């Protein structure tokens, strides 16, 4: 059984075009690490005002986060992407995700 996870982040309005561009070419090493650590059906949705909605399915979200935290590629990716987000208060983007509670699912 997979856990469905939805989260929010806020991209700075003046960084939206570059943020979109960076996600056209996510590093192959990063994509592989996400897959290996249990990030399945992972999608990002971006609204014009910078609201970023992420969705993924995973056997264990906490384990998926820990697995990525142990990867050098994740440290490099997070460092390169941190400048795009609002309200991180010194945290990496993967630490600043606001997870939403699932209240309904139609299987």
The residues with which 1 forms a beta bridge, in sequence order, are none
CA separation for the pair 73, 92 (Å, rounded) = 13
Residues annotated as catalytic (active site), given as ranges: 23
7-43 pLDDT, tens digit each: 999 999 999 999 999 999 999 999 999 999 999 999 9
Whole-model pTM: value is 0.93
The two structure tokens encoding residue 30: 């990063």
Task: Please give the domain boundaries of the chain with CATH numbers for all domains.
Answer: 3-99 (3.30.70.100)
Would you say the C-alpha torsion 82, 87, 92, 96 has a positive or negative sign?
negative
């Amino acid at each position: 059984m997979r856990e469905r996870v939805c989260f929010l982040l806020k991209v700075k309005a003046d960084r939206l075009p570059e943020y979109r561009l960076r996600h056209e070419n996510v590093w192959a090493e990063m994509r592989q690490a996400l897959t290996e650590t249990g990030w399945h059906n992972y999608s990002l949705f971006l609204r014009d005002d910078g609201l970023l909605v992420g969705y993924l399915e995973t056997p264990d979200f906490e384990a998926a986060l820990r697995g990525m935290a142990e990867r050098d590629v994740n440290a490099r990716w997070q460092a390169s992407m941190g400048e795009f987000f609002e309200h991180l208060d010194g945290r990496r983007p993967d630490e600043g995700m606001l997870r939403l509670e699932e209240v309904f699912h139609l299987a």
